[in-house]
Structure 1
Amino acid sequence: MGILCEPSELDDCTPVPHSATCRIPDRAGQPEGPVTGELLVDTNHSFFFDHRLDHVPGMLQVCGLFDLLSEAGSDMDGVPGRRLRLSLRFTSFCTLQPPPILTATRLVPQVNDLWSVDVRQHGSSVCAGRIDVLSGTLEPPPSLEAGTRGSASAPAEVVHRHRPENIMIGAARTEADEVVVPVMVPARNHYLRRLSRDAHDAAALIEAGRQFTTMLGLMVTGMPVDSHLVWLTIAADLPLGIPHGTRLWLRWLRMPDSGPKVRFVMDLLDADRRRLGMLVSSCLVLNDADYTTLRTLGGQR
């Protein structure tokens, strides 16, 4: 896979690495200031645009911010003994043009891994929040029962993915008080394994949470599978560097919620049902008419 789009006319930019999602201007002489980059949007990308979209998906914005922090020296590559904590809000739709601008600012000078982040377009913020990479994680024992591509995937229509290789959760196990899905391991050549070949990548875990949010949103609202899911917020506290040999699950404990705005708290579990982390995600579940109205009003959420 090549870079996500043709280079823009930005001056003094570093070369774009393989599968990068952003281009960062040369920071020579400005090592301590905010880090800024341009989000690269390729509507032919097999993961971010595996079906037609009229906007920049939230996962591309998340991955762009991760790549921006990695280029700025943050330890985002899944080294064991670290945790990722983030809280992001998608405030409006990010359109396909012009290229969005990513910014990350250290919250504490000289400390690389505490960041305030922002995605801006047309002079306004479309996504903002905080991303921290911290020391300390629970390392589970290895298991031979990882959710490999040989496991049964969730139906594509309930996670809003078209390509089977992009489905990151397995079929749901539904009980009276909980819904549980296995976390799938991306194929070896998949985009979500570009940074960490042998461990669960943070972006892959967040995508699994986003797909679980989509599945649950349709489930609790009773809306048809072709409804529009509009991502509103994502918060996470996740361990980094867990090997793919460790089987992981996402669990939602049932709580009353009917929509159209729904919120889910999801626990990340190992095979022994130990809680390793969590994701909290909210979205709107809309029919065609309500989605069109939201877009007509400028997409403010």
Structure 2
Amino acid sequence: MAASVIERFRELVVDESDPFYFDHPLDHVPGMLLFSGMLDLAVRADAARSRGRRAGRVVAGLDFTRFCELDRGTTLSCRPVPGRNRAWTVTARQGVREVCAGSIAFAEGAGVADGAAPANGESRTGAPPGAARRPAAIPPSRHAPAPLVHRHRPENILVGEPVRHGRGTVEAAVLRRPGEEPDDWRPVRIVEAGRQFATMLEHSHHGRPMDARLLWVSLRMDVPFRLDRSVPLMLRWPVARVAGPRSRCAVTLADASTGAGLGTLTYEAYAVDPERYERTRSS
């Protein structure tokens, strides 16, 4: 195996004029940009290692260990996990300091409903094992309020207004950006939609103040690597109480027309007030 396949490095490109990753002024590199860069590096390395076999799913676990600063370079690295697999260890460093690390793995097979069952014991439909799959009503397509998802540009809001079904679940549509060319659903778009959904729930269902800052600390995901653009998507969250400053939001990615579960996304974050955030940044 060539050395370039054994281990790969890349400098993360940080363009503060990018309207998607820098939707509004930030004092750090956003976690979504780190995820996007590491995923792209792993995809390119895997293409060489797997000899072009198409990935059906992507499974990842990432921990964001410290702020990624804007005033210094960020090096991404990707190394294969030993064995007969398509798994990669990924890291983002600024100098000797690690800012994000984890793993990204690819699996073959159909990209719509194949893959491992969710780790929380649910079936792929988001229901308890053995429960009948219920058809889903497609949630309203009107986008969620910008303050609830911490976005400024309307075109960057990727989730619809939430719909609660009794005491059981909250659902929201995954939206496309207005005027964008039709394209297959990709992991970065799905992960950002899930992040916005989790952020919205912090305010609308957990009572976090609107000025609270959510510091992303981990991402766990098992989603299709690529989905046909004709599949309408929604996110489903089983209502659960969150106590304390650290939140955990586990959601199911589903086909909005059938209710069939397609994957899972889990986010963990700390909610801090503006004063604590400033103390954290100045320490």
Match of 2:100 in 1: 127
Once the two structures are TM-superposed, the CA of residue 39 in structure 1 deviates from its matched residue by 0.5
Distance 2:151 2:46 in 1: 32
SS of the residue 1:293 aligns to: helix
Match of 1:183 in 2: 174
Letter in 1 for 2:17: N
User: Gaps spanning 5+ residues in structure 2: where?
Assistant: 114-136
Q: Deviations over 1:49-94 (max 9, x none)?
A: 110100000000001112212332439xxx9760110000000100
Give the alignment's Cα RMSD to 1 decimal.
2.6
Among 66, 88, 112, which residue is 1:139 paired with? 112
Map residues 1-301 of structure 1 onto 2, 5 A cutoff.
30-74=3-47, 82-108=56-82, 113-137=86-110, 139=112, 151-175=141-165, 176-187=167-178, 189=180, 198-270=183-255, 271-297=257-283
Structure 2 CA distance for partners of 1:32 and 1:109, relative to 1, 3 Å: farther
Q: Deviations over 1:235-288 (max 9, x none)?
A: 000012221211111011011113311001101111211111100111111111
Aligned length: 255
Which of structure 1's runs of 4+ aligned residues deviate more than 6 A? none
Distance 1:204 1:180 in 2: 17
Is contact 1:146–1:244 with CA below 8 Å preserved after alignment? no
Once the two structures are TM-superposed, the CA of residue 296 in structure 1 deviates from its matched residue by 2.7
Once the two structures are TM-superposed, the CA of residue 200 in structure 1 deviates from its matched residue by 0.6
Letter in 1 for 2:97: S
- Using the size of structure 2 for normalisation, the TM-score is 0.82
SS of the residue 2:90 aligns to: strand
Letter in 1 for 2:240: M
Once the two structures are TM-superposed, the CA of residue 223 in structure 1 deviates from its matched residue by 2.2
Q: Deviations over 1:165-197 (max 9, x none)?
A: 11111110023221111111235648xxxxxx5
User: Gaps spanning 5+ residues in structure 1: where?
Assistant: 1-28, 191-196
Letter in 2 for 1:136: G
Letter in 2 for 1:241: R
SS of the residue 1:63 aligns to: helix
Distance 2:83 2:10 in 1: 20
Letter in 1 for 2:164: T
